[in-house]
Structure 1
């Protein structure tokens, strides 16, 4: 199965604050917040959700197609991804804008304050996904990740028109999108990815109930941080998949993207959703052990060993495995 991943490409500026961010927030002054954090470290890393996911897929031996808008400063970044096995032929290079920037401060509890500058990502809506997929010729599944909102909507419409299965992964763009746009992005997706907060935000903005969502998507995957993930299908038993224990916790940034890469890799191999979630959790733990979103190392064997050590060789079936594949 060939997977196409659309979404942001960015440069991450990752900082660590030795205190607790929550201790700096005063309940009676939240209407006038003015905070400055003296951070201990600064790491500048390659990132962006689409690039992070394709990085993870490439680490597991897949050759995903990356569809994104970047600046001229992407050259070395793109060469590194291509050397790993990511197909960057569909990346749009802006003539005027820099590649997007992500700035994030993390405290010892894993709480984060972040800002995102779109830059060249604002040109992603100019990408003709239909033409891209026609050139690539062999895409079986498209993940539509956080990106310029107009691009997300255009890519979703293209997948519907062409009859190509798509995954909705709106992530941080849920805060910017309104209810009708979110409903359009989600309706008909073979998979929907959210974290716990995004799940509640999606329900509030769309006005849907969880039952409504599950009547419109094939599988809803909710990541739960250190508690693992939840896999749901309409009318079927909910599967709670524990996280793979982390030997080292270095940086939570991009862990959710690694989870998605592991999940998609297992999905492309025909495994059911529970086994996919277990594989995603294993890759997420490897990502958690490194600072930055594309600095961890992984292999199919390493992920398999972690999965078996945590869940056993047959736990996917014992967990009440949900039917797999790309069913809508």
Structure 2
């Protein structure tokens, strides 16, 4: 089964400010604020929803096709993807743009100031999807809005299973585009807060959503996830050795779930595999810094849930 991942590719550029923002912001002058925070160096990480999911799937031996868009500064990320053996033919390069990037500065009190430049993400990836067939499965994750609407349309019209994962683009999509995009999805995957946002923006109740999609998978962080296909089933979380950084755990969960579907597992087992995949992200700082083998993954699964049937 070939997996296609629609979503973003981005650089996360992270700085630490050796102080507190609050010591340098004058409340009575905030209407004319002009302040500079000097960080302790710069750490550049690879990120983006599509990049994170594809990276985790590569750890599990899968080679999904990324459908995304990047800019003229992408070469180092491109080299990384190719070293992982990931196909890059679905990635469009726009020489007049920069790759999407988040510039994040964190102070000593864990307050953050982030500036996000969408750059190339403002443009459709322009991928010719006519080669996809019924043996494929797509996941449409946060990225270019046009792709998030058009790719589900193609999947619906060609009877290809797809997972709709709107995430942080829920508010950008808005009610009508959300309704169009989620229609006919095999699975809607959101966290509990995002589920309420989807219902608010579309005006759909949970029952009405289940008339539009095959099932809803709601991630619950340390409490695992809930599967609802008319009947609710709770999947407990796998146990981490230590919680270091939860950033990216949701993308890793999606990767493990997709691996389960590629293996023909039922949804319960696939969600458990998602919970195990999320462990590696939670236990490591950064969304693409962990490494593991399929044998190690199976061992962690069995520690938490018993034999991987």
- Provide TM-score, normalisation by structure 2: 0.87
1:283 to 271, 277, 286: 277
Residue 187 of structure 1 is matched in structure 2 by: 183
Give the number of aligned pairs: 304
CA distance in 2 between partners of 1:276 and 1:172 (Å):
24
Distance 1:104 1:231, change over 3 A: farther
Q: How does 1:93-242 map to 2 (within 5 A)?
A: 93-104=93-104, 114-124=114-124, 127-128=126-127, 131-134=128-131, 140-234=136-230, 236=231, 238-242=232-236
Say whether the 8 Å CA contact 1:283–1:298 is kept in structure 2: no
CA distance in 1 between partners of 2:123 and 2:218 (Å):
30
Residue 298 of structure 2 is matched in structure 1 by: 304
SS in 1 for 2:73: helix
Deviation string for 1:17-44 (max 9, x for gaps)? Answer: 89999x99xxxx9x99x89989778532
Residue 323 of structure 1 is matched in structure 2 by: none
1:259 to 244, 247, 253: 253
Say whether the 8 Å CA contact 2:134–2:158 is kept in structure 1: no
| Root mean square deviation, CA, Å | 3.1
CA distance in 1 between partners of 2:108 and 2:242 (Å):
13
Task: For residue 107 of structure 1, report the CA deviation from its aligned partner.
Answer: 8.8
SS in 2 for 1:178: helix
SS in 1 for 2:242: coil
Say whether the 8 Å CA contact 1:14–1:292 is kept in structure 2: no
Which runs of no fewer than 5 residues in structure 1 stay unpaired? Answer: 317-328
Say whether the 8 Å CA contact 1:192–1:217 is kept in structure 2: yes
SS in 2 for 1:73: coil
Task: For residue 194 of structure 1, report the CA deviation from its aligned partner.
Answer: 0.5
CA distance in 1 between partners of 2:182 and 2:110 (Å):
29
Task: For residue 113 of structure 1, report the CA deviation from its aligned partner.
Answer: 6.3
Say whether the 8 Å CA contact 2:134–2:161 is kept in structure 1: no
CA distance in 1 between partners of 2:205 and 2:109 (Å):
31
Q: How does 1:45-64 map to 2 (within 5 A)?
A: 45-64=45-64
Distance 1:287 1:110, change over 3 A: farther
Say whether the 8 Å CA contact 1:90–1:132 is kept in structure 2: no
CA distance in 1 between partners of 2:69 and 2:112 (Å):
26
Q: Which runs of 4+ in 1 moved over 3 A?
A: 14-21, 34-43, 103-115, 136-139
| 1:272 correspondence with 2:253 | no
Say whether the 8 Å CA contact 1:262–1:283 is kept in structure 2: yes
SS in 1 for 2:123: helix
Deviation string for 1:162-198 (max 9, x for gaps)? Answer: 2222110111000212111111111100011101211
Distance 1:212 1:92, change over 3 A: same
